[in-house]
Amino acid sequence: MAWSQSISVILIEPEWEEMRVKIIVLNESKTSTPQINVERRCAVTPASVQRLCKKGVEVNIEAGSGELSHYLDNEYEDAGATIINDVNDALSSADMLVSVNKPSEAQLSVMKKGAIVVGHLDPFFQQPLIESIAEKALTAISVEMIPRSSRAQKMDALSSQASLAGYVMVMQAANQLPSILPMMMTPSGTIKPAKVFIIGAGVAGLQAIATAKRLGANVLAYDTRAVVAEQVESLGGKFLKIDIGETGQTKDGYAKELTEEQKAKQQEAQRDAIANSDIVITTAQLFGRKPPVLISKDTLALMKPGSVVVDMAATSGGNVEGSVAGETVEINGVKVIGNGNWSQFVAKAATDMYANNIYNLVDEFLDEESKTFALNLEDDILAGCVIAHEGKITNEMLLNAYKGA
């Protein structure tokens, strides 16, 4: 009798791990600098983590990253993130490192070739760091370089943080002023509203105007770009007109640098406005260049004792002679605030806004089929903000700046 035996073979296929973009988020409160002190912001929120995970992104967050912006590790875990303690081990396999500020050389050194670094990299003033990123064959996305276009607005971290800075500067000035901002009429008499003069009507300046006006101050503002006068007036401020000849703005909406003669005319014309003000806030910054000095010590001496000046640009060179980065100093009886890193004073709001900027950036360029971040340098947004790629610095403006052009 013949026996036939059938054998069923069950093939057990190996489990392939689904390809996913792996993002690492740093705990930046563990490091500090004289100008920044302790960083209170984080690059993601539980809400943005949840949205990233739904897109198929793997999010790894260094323990304690969100504590100073009032987001706890368990909230990130509940949203789908993995909390890690050994960030260096995680960085070695990361596809993208996302931070608020620039990462350290030690962190960059363990990253794999082709990985992407995203953050405020301060590229015009951090040439050695950017060159090091290029040498390591990493890709650098500097959020400061995201163009100011309609399509890029949702990713524009520079503007979101500057808007908060405008609010914070007014609040800090009000806290230092030995009087109040609004008019107050009482049986004991009437207190006149404070006079606030804001120099520079960009994103930060306009928010400062709006905030000071809401607090009841009389607000005067000046900008070299006459085109912004209507915006100033729409917020309830008055626009100071100074004829210094042709000025204008760049294609991205930034003020152009003035000639020495124009600077002298501007300072002379502003002197009376500064002398008559209780609070002066300077927000003049030139993209990629050292900011102009707008207020001299001689002009400060014209202000009333107890007046307050806020120098938004103190950490990058300063608009006010004598301002000190990261400090409040007194010059001729006038308090000059140069704290810098303004948005971290409202860390939760700043984290919320920055995390949205980062999510929108990743979402815009995430290829959901290949599960990769699509680095198409022909795209107008990436062409602006990708500053290093495949072993070289790719941004022409940056290369010219490094050459001294």
End-to-end CA distance of the chain: 96
- The secondary structure of residue 71, as a DSSP letter, is -
- The letter for the amino acid at 373 is F
Active-site option among 35, 132, 148, 176: 148
Active-site option among 65, 76, 156, 163: 156
Active-site residue flag, 243: no
Active-site residue flag, 159: yes
Active-site residue flag, 151: no
Report d(CA 375, CA 273) in Å as an integer: 49
* CB-based contacts of 300, cutoff 8 Å, min separation 6: 309, 320, 321, 322, 331, 332, 334, 336
Dihedral class, residue 143 (left if φ above 0, else alpha if ψ from -120 to 50, else beta): alpha
Active-site residue flag, 78: no
Helices and strands per DSSP (H, E), number in the chain: 13, 21
CB 317 within 8 A of CB 291: yes
Alpha-carbon dihedral 264, 269, 270, 271, rounded to 10 degrees:
90
Residue listed under structure tokens 């770009």: 225
What DSSP string describes 9-20?
Answer: -------PPPP-
Active-site residue flag, 296: no
Active-site option among 50, 153, 179, 249: 153
- The letter for the amino acid at 361 is L
Other C-beta atoms closer than 10 Å to the C-beta of 298 total 11
What DSSP string describes 325-391?
Answer: TT-EEEETTEEEE----GGGGGHHHHHHHHHHHHHHHHHHHEETTTTEE---TTSHHHHHHEEEETT
Active-site option among 99, 107, 159, 316: 159
Catalytic site positions:
148, 153, 156, 159, 254
